Structure 1
Amino acid sequence: MQQQRDRFVEGCVGNGIEETEAANVFDLIVEFAGYGFPKAHSAAYAYITYQTAYLKANHRPEYLAALLTIEAGNHDKLSRYIAHVRESGLDVLPPDVNDSAQDFGVVGTAIRFGFAGIKNVGDGAVASILAARDEEGRYTSLFDFTRRVDARKVNRRVLEALVKCGAFDTLHDNRARVWASIEMAVERAASEQRDRAVGQESLFGGLPDAEWSDDPKLLELPAWPDRERLANEKELLGFYVSGHPLGEVAAELARYTDCTATTTEGRYGRDVRVGGLLTGLRETRTKRGKRMGFGTLEDLEGGFDLVIFSDPYNLHFDLLRAAESGGEFGEGPIPILVSGKLEESDPPKILVSEVMRLAEGEERLTVNLRLRLMASEAGCDSMEALRSVLESYPGDCEVFVHITIPGESETIVSVGGLRGVDSSEELKRDVDALFGRAVAERGL
């Protein structure tokens, strides 16, 4: 480029143009060349855009299966695209030794996970699995599988990956038993293959191959806990197949958050509150030696990158560590709520300002307490007793009392002289106990 610059500037000067002006013009040309397109290039991209839009609109399952195949090796992107597939109303079926192909494929109105998307399962292993299946038909058990595939390509590491992600679930419904039986299955298959290689009869006295279907029983073990099963799926596939650790708190997340990984459009530059599970927390030091952190928050639809500067990192350090590790007593994943400024990136980024446990959301985010009473419950003695209970929990939360006459009216009144309350679970329990039923509701 320097040679071209010299030629350009010399030519301009020879034509009576100031050297400085010529250099500035060349700089503009260089800048434009970094991302400049001729009309032909623009037209070609417009054509491709139309084609992909047409395919997505008219052949959605096939289009999305191809998209997942392209990103099979990138589990971060894969998990977000799978969330998009599910959001569009299509199911993503788990990998299966009998039904999966190399790539993601369409099965009815669903998409079957392809072998290429499973970590630790290489092309050679996939080729062996598919070749044996094409030659002799569907696999009937773990032992039948290990007997037929090439053990040099489908080694123990591949078998472990297939078991952990659920690829044998249609043959055996307890992954822990399959996992524990891998060594036995591998040794049995190796013994048979050695016998075949030297032309000897098997232990069963020369029975034909078909008789090898009399498989031993899998080792007896209880099923993996949900936490372990889901963690294995996430590790190998990049998403959860048989459930989600946040499934039980989905309603709470929807109530206390205003943004998810797939609803960030139009929210960039604004403060948001998101919720999910913290993974990959790592600490670093600023140029001034202060601690700060980075991490990933996974919600039901994808994830966010978290940037936690020194002040919020130090303030919430204990909670962040507990949320990542599963708590001091190993109680499992701790869902958290994270507030901060949303920035555009891939995946979306949040500059964290506040962190709290999801379980604390109702108490800490409540702005008013509403008490719903029947008119018959609002006598003088009851209201005096109510005032006494409320005054014993001072705070900033407003209190409104709804007094209802069935079929006639509802009156909303405030409690005179009461500045506010601490809307704790204890206060709610005491108020409900006062009236013998649930009357207190927290409002966000």
Structure 2
Amino acid sequence: MTTTGEDHVPARGGPWWWARRRGAALDAALAAVSALECAVEGVPFARDAGIPVAAGVVFGLLAGSVLLVRRQWPIAVVLVAIAITPAQMGSLMAIVGLYTLAASELPRRIIGALAGMSLLGTLIVMFVRLKQDMARGDLDLGDWFVPFASITASLGLTAPPVLLGMYVGARRRLMESLRERADSLERELQLLAERAEERAEWARSEERTRIAREMHDVVAHRVSLMVVHAAALQAVARKDPEKAVRNAALVGDMGRQALTELREMLGVLRSGGSERRERAVSAAPLAAVGAAAAAAASRAAAEEGGPCLAELEELVGQSAAAGMAVDLSVEGEPRSCAAEVEQTAFRVVQEALTNVHKHAAGAKTRVRLAYRASEIAMQVENGPPPEGSSASSARLPSGGNGLVGMKERVTALGGVFVSGPTEAGGFRVSAVIPES
């Protein structure tokens, strides 16, 4: 986490309008010094004005103490300093007041107007004072000295605090702008991190779903055929030993095929996991690595070791060997398609035949595959199971995820999937998958 402007905002621990106690102490000290200065300068002012010295001192104390409110009312402080300039008092208050005014958030025209008034007032007072000194003979210089000294003194008392205050105010506003920008960037980074985590979680969920679907497709069909053959083996073991031997050989072959497919799938997953670890070590962002790894694993599963439509005849033959009356017809000119398309089409037919074994054992089944202009269509339709047969005789469990998995596979490639019972009492599964 970065340190932003929110961490720099001071807690309001001072009295009244001060944000900090040390700010209040500084202003109180400046006000005390200014009041003391004005009180001392009030003595000659009272003598020149012909008023009691105590009145001049009290006036100076009150005028100088106005500097206490410089942060809250800087305009008032500058106006008071301008007002007491003819009395030749309040130099410190004028300097500090102009600095505070220039550093504030007030419009520039107000700052310029008050600074000009202070400059003009100081210029007039200095000019009159020097003229009086020269008239009394205290100064014996040329006529050029009076305007030069007046302008120099007024600029020296006015320009430096104004310029310094403008610089400090601009720097303060720049720092606040940078802190606000840092806060905004931090919020954006947090939002991006949350979205990246959501995408990574979505990718992980998709990967888990894909793995579960692959495991279901690989295991369910082979194991279903093995169970069917095992049931047939149990039924004919004593009556027809030769057929029992053939069924036992088929069960062994199917078990080995299932293990081979499982090993291939696990090998793909392990290679995908090693690639994810290598990318993580190379300091790639965690969420991007998760999403990229999920996509890479999905592509790898589709390209490496996946079934294709050329193996469809063998798939149908295995179901026929298990006792299913199944017919395969191919329309159009067979051609090779993208690996994902062929694998999805194969899995749809495989899962449909598995469902026939589970729910309509012995039913006549027809498998149709059509190569069209820019798509592949497939349909698996079975009739009602023959009388006296029972789909549950083999005791095949069903999780109810087969049709859902088929629909997910097809729709993920932009295809259309439809399934449902037929009027004859059977069941039909149809899918159309675009080639690109």
Q: TM-score range by the shorter chain?
A: under 0.3
TM-score, normalised relative to structure 1:
0.23
Structure number with higher relative contact order (C-alpha < 8 Å, ≥ 6 residues apart): 2
Between structures 1 and 2, the one with greater helix share? 2
TM-score, normalised relative to structure 2:
0.23
Work out which of the two has the higher radius of gyration on C-alpha atoms and give 1 or 2: 2
Between structures 1 and 2, the one with greater strand share? 1
